[in-house]
Copies of this chain bind each other. A is one copy, B any other.
Amino acid sequence: MATEEDKPRESLWERLERPSPTPRQTLSPQRIAAAAAAVADAEGLEAITMRRLASELGVAPMAPYRYVAGKDDVLELMVDHVYADLRLPDGLGWRETMRALALGTRDLVLRHLWLAQLSPQARLSLTPNRMAVAEQALSALDGLGLDADAMMSVFRAVDAYVTGALNYESAVLNLLREHGWSDGGELRSELAPQMIWHMRTGRYPTFQRYLRTATRKDDAHWQFESGLTYVLDGIAAELGI
């Protein structure tokens, strides 16, 4: 059965672009976004509560609800706020543009680790600044003789790889931060007992050999670039571009 709330509620972004009739207000979606992003940058996503956000803005806990429908809207505003910093240079070839997309996204996520902690559904929302990046990326894939489906498959493949790689990389960094550990060495020494126990079972000989002989276990940038090279090489080979 259809419920009442299915009416086509005006989108968050639609409301934003129409300036409010009385502009004299202490609160605004922009201030909310900036304050929330600042808190999350400094203390992680779990520090974002509606009460904390309100106190940060110097208002009562329920005040921000004049501008957002709920906490999910706040997260959406935060995402769009930081994505304003990500733009791709024009005039590059498709491969350099995809590389800029990947490396730029990585920079952004490493500067705002909470981006990777958002629920996948929060990352689905098409905010203006994310749409702008997608448009830039797609337009760099235009004019290569690809049909629309192929163009999107390239964009999506790069985006999927970047998302997955950063999911992992930032999860490690968030773990470090939450426990107050400083570097990967400290992480490994903390996790060592568990890992040693796993290895003692003798069930994972190949994995164990990796642990013993690998030399770039901590080189996150190299790992990111390696995978990115695979993806871009494969696109070039498969599509002949």
* Interface of A toward B, CB cutoff 8 Å: 6, 8, 11, 13-14, 116-117, 119-121, 123-124, 126, 128, 131-132, 134-135, 138-139, 142, 147-154, 156-157, 159-165, 167-168, 170-172, 174-175, 190, 193-195, 197-198, 203-207, 209-210, 213-217, 223, 226-227, 229-235, 237-238
Establish whether residues A167 and B160, one from each chain, have CB atoms under 8 Å apart when the complex forms.
Answer: yes
Which residues on the B side are within 8 Å of A227 (C-beta)?
A: 153, 156-157, 160-161
Which residues on the B side are within 8 Å of A213 (C-beta)?
A: 147-148
Establish whether residues B175 and A164, one from each chain, have CB atoms under 8 Å apart when the complex forms.
Answer: no
Establish whether residues A214 and B148, one from each chain, have CB atoms under 8 Å apart when the complex forms.
Answer: yes
List the 6 shortest-distance A-B pairs measured between CB atoms, nearest first: A234-B234, A160-B164, A164-B164, A163-B164, A230-B234, A157-B227
Which residues on the B side are within 8 Å of A160 (C-beta)?
A: 160-161, 163-165, 167-168, 227
Which residues on the B side are within 8 Å of A170 (C-beta)?
A: 120
Given contacts A233-B237, A237-B234, contact A138 B206 (CB under 8 A): yes
